Amino acid sequence: MKRIVLALLVAAIVIPAASALDLGEFPLGSWFDANWDAIWEFSSNNIRILAPDGTVHYDFGAVEVQNWKYGAGGDGPYVEFDCEATGKHYKISKPLLNTKVVLEIVRPDEPDYRVEMEKR
């Protein structure tokens, strides 16, 4: 009985965190950050950062994100969130008249980061 209660408790914590990563109409696929030689991979319910050889550097679906926002304004779709595990705020947008995705990261102890990423 204790195992069932523990399993339900774990599911209650993990499922809301994973379901929070709903990318809506954001363009799915892989985008290359040439500054860090990293690939940002967007699937319908997850964001991962990969090395060019496919090694996973970071999996946002495996951690809890806060303040998740999806929008599709006049400038195009975007996702925005905070990650307590990394201590950073992320915004990824896809301008309508641009083939690239724009990644912006607010880093408390370093200068903010911005890069335009090419589709991979």
10-49 pLDDT, tens per residue? 344 343 444 457 787 788 999 999 999 999 999 988 999 9
Length of the chain: 120
35-93 pLDDT, tens per residue? 999 999 999 889 999 999 999 999 999 999 999 999 987 789 999 999 999 999 999 99
Q: In what order do the strands lie in the sheet with 65-73?
A: 56-59, 46-50, 38-43, 29-33, 113-119, 101-106, 88-93, 76-83, 65-73
- What are the angstrom distances between the C-alpha of 112 and each of 20, 37, 54? 25, 18, 26
97-117 pLDDT, tens per residue? 889 999 999 999 999 999 999
- Most distant pair of Cα atoms in the chain: their distance: 56
- pLDDT for residue 9 is more than 60: no
pLDDT at position 20 is 56
**Mean pLDDT throughout 2-6?**
38
